[in-house]
Structure 1
Amino acid sequence: MGILTQYLKPTVAAALSAIAFLQPSVALSADLDALMLQLRDADPRDAARLADEIQLEWSKSGSATADYLLKRGRDAMERGDTTAALEHLTALVDHAPDFAEGWVTRAGVYFHAGLLGPAVHDLEQALALNPQHFEAIIGLATLFEMIDRPDEAYEAYLQVKAIHPAHPDVTEALQRLAPLVKGQTL
């Protein structure tokens, strides 16, 4: 666990810096930019629909091979075949290293396999490519909570809140972590 916490510190700085300072247009098309702006102001019902649209767009690589590998990796995950999922998703990130969704999806497999260091690495890669990938940021926040780093988790959830204010998991997480980060009021 000590090695992981040492590894996370530079990752947090890099990821949160990328989120805070990179322009949204770096990694997103004009259509995605418009969807992201709509997401910030949407009510919860519309936000869920917009988030689904955004995630669908993020899943389009522009390469039939990459899309196929992503589908095969996700299918293997659904079957619980971690080995096959990692093989397909590793082939995907090798084939399309600029496709953030490949990194995020492989990070999820690593996370479920208990391989936290590789999961953090993949989330860092994804956020370098797409600093507004709210699911990648939530992944980092979840890892921070697991290793008892509530301040970093809280900060990551705040970053998601700025991007996707109606995300139901984020609101609950901020409420859960607030007493740990800000202290209890008497």
Structure 2
Amino acid sequence: MADQNDPRLPALFTVLSKAERPDQAWYAETRIWAIWHEYNGDKRVARAMRDGLAAMSAQRFAEAIDGFDEASRLDPNFAEAWNKRATVFYLMGDLERSIVDVRRTLALEPRHFGALSGLGLIYLQMNRLEDAIKAFEAALKIHPFLPAASQIEALRDRARGEKT
């Protein structure tokens, strides 16, 4: 079964963290995402994920939640099911529930730069700058070219300005 425990991931994360150019990071990132989305176990989980992704793409968020609920119920250790549900909650504006699912994702896959970046975006919306900075810093340690975290210097400046 391919998931966050896939044996191909450690080498890809090494490439990603040591990338010196965006194209190197992009190669590793796309392979990592592809592995995270693979599911070769219970066909019902794979079907629930496909259904959830299709619904999410069509902005049918309640239906997407149902799909990711089913996937995470059938395999509670599949990190990407929790991450996708966190994303849908974020898109729906339910930030607290999104945080809960991001934390579950990170408990299963601490290297999940997408979840860390998403957590940073959530904290930004909540005006929790210090927490956003910490989340983006953690994401950048894993993925040095992560676009969503590129605003970190501006956030640090903003946080310093709010403290004075």
Query: Is 1:178 paired with 2:156?
Result: yes
Please tell me the root mean square deviation across aligned C-alpha atoms, in Å: 1.5
Q: 2:54 aligns with which of 41, 60, 75?
A: 75
Query: Is 1:96 paired with 2:79?
Result: no
Paired with 1:35 and 1:125, the residues of 2 have a C-alpha distance of: 22
- Aligned-partner residue type, residue 88 of structure 2: V
Deviations 1:89-110 (Å, cap 9, x if unpaired)?
1111111100000000011111
1:59 and 1:67 in contact (8 A); partners too: no
Query: Number of paired residues?
Result: 157
- Aligned-partner residue type, residue 174 of structure 1: I
Q: Give the corresponding residue for 2:96.
A: 117
Deviations 1:73-93 (Å, cap 9, x if unpaired)?
010011111111111111111
1:144 and 1:150 in contact (8 A); partners too: yes
TM-score after normalising by structure 2: 0.90
- Aligned-partner residue type, residue 33 of structure 1: P
Larger mean CA deviation between 175-184 and 111-120 belongs to 175-184
Q: 1:85 aligns with which of 64, 78, 86?
A: 64
Q: Give the corresponding residue for 2:44.
A: 65
Any stretches of 5+ residues in structure 2 without a counterpart? none
Q: Give the corresponding residue for 1:139.
A: 118
Q: 2:25 aligns with which of 18, 43, 47?
A: 47
Paired with 1:66 and 1:29, the residues of 2 have a C-alpha distance of: 17
- Aligned-partner residue type, residue 64 of structure 2: A
Paired with 1:78 and 1:132, the residues of 2 have a C-alpha distance of: 25
Paired with 1:168 and 1:36, the residues of 2 have a C-alpha distance of: 17
TM-score after normalising by structure 1: 0.80
1:82 and 1:113 in contact (8 A); partners too: yes
- Aligned-partner residue type, residue 148 of structure 1: N
- Where has structure 1 moved over 4 Å in runs of 4 or more? none
2:48 and 2:70 in contact (8 A); partners too: yes
